[in-house]
Chains A and B, each alone.
Chain A
Amino acid sequence: MAASITRKRRGRFRRYGPPLLLISPSVILIGIFVYGLIGSAFQTSMTSAHSAAEFTGKQPTEFVFLGNYTAWLATKEAHHALLNQLIFTAVFLGGTLSLGFLWAWLLDKRAKAEGIFRSVYLFPMAVSAVAAGVVWKWLLNPNRDAKAYGLNRLFQTLGLDFMQNSWWTKNLTWGIAAIAMPAIWQMAGYVMALFLAGFRGIPNELREAARVDGANEWKLYRHVIFPQLSPVALSAIIIIGHMSLKTFDLIMSISKHTNYQTKIPAIEMYRYMAEGDYANAAMVGVVLLLIVLVLIIPYLIHTTRAEKNR
């Protein structure tokens, strides 16, 4: 009995030992650099360490459990920041997915000079947020009419005066959507590449088969192409969605962390950190993580299920 267990163990080790060994450095690194740090942040977020003195133990702190969470979530500012985040994410996702899909669709059908279009559409991703912010700050200037420059000036020149608007500066609810424009500009090309790859990954026999069955163009998309593209769309949603939660550099360089119009949780976290309020900084960070969890769990369930079905 004991011998067979040992043998079995040895067999298992020979089978699973090498892969486990190979992956263990990554697991250890992620364990420390991600989970260790998140654990530490979680712990801090439940204390009353609201100043450097408290954080470094020069003054006593208390364990407040979820006190920081409930206090912050009860404020109007937190609702504003979370709503801004929601609108930003929605516009960013909607913009990158629809533009990315459209571009990919246009390019998929064998466009002339495809390489040039592709490279140009991808180019903004190469521009760092710091640099992109400077230009977009100019473009999104809210001055109108005689004083206008930026996009408002361009609209005038094109005879589209009615399109002039105050961008992010005036409207407290929807202003944040304007900040999503540069973000879309940066990432739509990447989503295009994803979709284009998706289009080209659809086996040609599928299309042909559908055509032979007499399916019109719409039915072809509805029943063949969209289902084939859904995993691509899902990856895009995950990547863009998580980037939207970290959109920080862009807001810092177009607006300012002090502008109430463009406050999002990441900005709030930065502010708390800059003033030495580590408990609240960690608290906002954990809230962001929880939002991500909500976003990523359906994806993980989907992936696992898809693999089981295979």
Chain B
Amino acid sequence: MRRISFLTAGMAAIALTLSGCGGSGDEKTTDSSAATEASETTEAPETTPADTDTETTEPEETEPAGTGALVEGASGELDIFTWWTAGSEALGLEQLILVLEAKYPDIEFVNGGNAAGQGGSGKEVLATRMNAGDPPDTFQAHAGKEMQDYIDADQLTDVGYLYDQFGLRDAFPEDLVAMLTQDGKIYSIPSNVHRANVLWASVPALEAAGLSTTDAYYASIDDFIAALEQVKTNAPDITPLSIGTTWCQVHLLETVLIAELGADGYNGLFDGTTDWAGADVTAALEKFATLMSYTNEDRDSVEWEPPIQMIEEGTAAFNIMGDWAPASFDAYGSVAGADYLYAPSPGTQGIFDFLADAYGVTNGAPHPKAAEAWIDVISSKEGQIGFNKVKGSIPARVDIDLEAEGFSAYQLSAAEDFASNAIVGSIQHGCAVTIKQGNAINEAVSKFNTGATDLAGFQAELVTAMS
């Protein structure tokens, strides 16, 4: 992922590695599943979001009912809570439903999910249902600490047996399984993986500033600050670093913490081995403040997209955002390499800042078998392929030949890093901190960036947030 050119050159090697993995994975899963996998890939080798509609009914008609079902006797309703209600996420969900219909024709998918966007992510609706004793069978959440409140309240079941039954311990990276395991129990199964620490750069803006237009990786935050300063001097009309509202600012903060503390130091923030009040954290926060001084004036009033659009239009030079950004680049018609570059965010080469959407089975689920079937669907190869290709994320499974499946160059590079890098959990995206901690961190960042607190106050609030 160091450079686009490096990337294309290394592609063949990556593909080989991946297909190697894929082979071994297949052997471990049951025959029927492998068969479905094979038939799925031959049928639709080049699924793109655009074809989705036309293909809607195809798998249903051609495949024998119930092929590849790993959960026996699953039928009836599946009450599922998800916030994949719009855009490419909704298209991805549609793919998963197709897989569900093929594997489990007796299950009726009942979308009990809710509106994302303006009204928040619907987390409060889910919490209300859970705590009022009306849990859905399964629900979407970010993998990791975000689910802690439910785990503490005994509202999720240990799905470790499903990892064994579906052969997932070998299909997912070891780091990931370890990260999701708590006291030997595991409560969620990821359907897709995103990377948070990605730097996006605008080629025309880099040109105007006299920066490298082929390599956007900066080895340290200090190097990056120097580059931002160069943009400011050489191209005063260009915003050096574009950014969105509070959550985007927390997102930036976490990449700075990773860069400054390293993977171990960063992980230590959450198990108590790194002190939030320490001098190295202070230094990181100072750098974060410096970075914020290069950002756009309207940052608090925009979501992540307008800042990405500034990269597309060349009115901003850099942006740090998760790898859902390509959906926007694609819509705008920007081409990686020619119009924009991507690289690990400054100082985080070799580290994969991870977040994932995941599902668990609720305690007291009205239809637990159906929930298990859903877990089978989202963790199966065909499910992970169908969903991720459309959504733009990468499969959590590392036993899929992504190149043969037609994943994009970016996805291939991210998958390679996911399989080889040190994996750390995202703060903003619910992996490393609980909802309560995340809210407190958001508030601390918002206060600091609006001048309600100074640096010392900021750090003190972070300490309180995590205590």
Contacts and interface: CB of A to CB of B under 8 A. Distances in A.
A and B touch in the complex (CB under 8 A): yes
B169 interface: no
A258 to B, nearest CB: 4
A260 B447 contact: yes
Contacts of A51: 149, 152-153, 436
Given A142-B297, A270-B124, A52 B451 contact: no
A260 B446 contact: yes
A271 interface: yes
B120 A270 contact: yes
A274 interface: yes
Interface centre among B131, B300, B315 (most CB of A within 10 A): B300
B298 A256 contact: no
Nearest to A138: B301
Interface centre among A53, A58, A249 (most CB of B within 10 A): A53
A261 interface: yes
B309 interface: no
A61 B399 CA distance: 47
Contacts of B267: none
Contacts of B153: 51-53, 55-56, 58, 276
Interface of B: 118-120, 123-124, 127-128, 130-131, 149-150, 152-155, 237, 239, 245-247, 296-298, 300-302, 315, 434-436, 439, 442-443, 446-447, 450-452
Given A77-B443, A170-B450, A52 B152 contact: yes
A52 B246 contact: no
A142 B124 contact: no
A18 B118 CA distance: 47
**Which 6 interchain pairs have the tightest Cβ spacing?**
A52-B153, A53-B153, A258-B246, A260-B446, A258-B442, A274-B124
A273 B450 contact: no
A289 B315 CA distance: 48
Nearest to B244: A256
Given A51-B152, A276-B435, A257 B120 contact: yes
B108 to A, nearest CB: 29
Given A80-B452, A256-B245, 8 more contacts: A53-B149, A55-B131, A56-B155, A58-B153, A169-B297, A274-B124, A274-B127, A275-B435
Given A258-B247, A276-B127, A142 B298 contact: yes
Interface stretch (A143-151, A216-224, A234-242, A290-298): A143-151
A275 B439 contact: yes
A255 B127 contact: no
Nearest to A49: B131
Contacts of A43: none
A117 to B, nearest CB: 31
Nearest to A57: B153
Contacts of B300: 142, 169, 255, 259, 261
Nearest to A144: B297
A259 B246 contact: yes
A141 B301 contact: yes
Interface of B is mostly: helix
A172 interface: yes
Contacts, number: 119
B301 A169 contact: yes
Given A58-B153, A259-B446, A140 B301 contact: yes
Interface in A249-265: 249, 252-261
A142 B306 CA distance: 14
A133 interface: yes
B130 A52 contact: yes
A258 B127 contact: no
Interface residues of A, number: 44
Contacts of B246: 256, 258-259
B124 A252 contact: no
Contact of A53 (B120, B152, B247, B443): B152
28 contacts: A51-B153, A51-B436, A52-B150, A53-B153, A56-B153, A58-B154, A77-B443, A141-B302, A143-B296, A146-B237, A147-B239, A147-B296, A147-B298, A169-B297, A169-B301, A172-B450, A249-B118, A255-B301, A258-B446, A259-B246, A260-B443, A271-B439, A273-B124, A273-B127, A274-B120, A274-B123, A274-B439, A276-B131
Nearest to B306: A141
A207 interface: no
A16 B358 CA distance: 61
Nearest to A168: B301
Contact of A52 (B127, B237, B245): B127
A140 B297 CA distance: 12
Nearest to B444: A260
A43 B201 CA distance: 54
Contacts of B247: 256, 258
Contact of B452 (A58, A252, A258, A260): A260
Nearest to A146: B237
A310 B402 CA distance: 82
B297 A147 contact: yes
A97 B296 CA distance: 36
A278 interface: yes
Contacts of A255: 245, 300-301
B342 to A, nearest CB: 25
Contacts of A147: 239, 296-298, 315
Contacts of B155: 52, 56
A117 B449 CA distance: 43
Nearest to A254: B301
A142 B31 CA distance: 59
Given A259-B446, A260-B447, A275 B298 contact: no
Contact of A58 (B152, B434, B446, B447): B152
A228 interface: no
A180 to B, nearest CB: 16
A144 B239 CA distance: 13
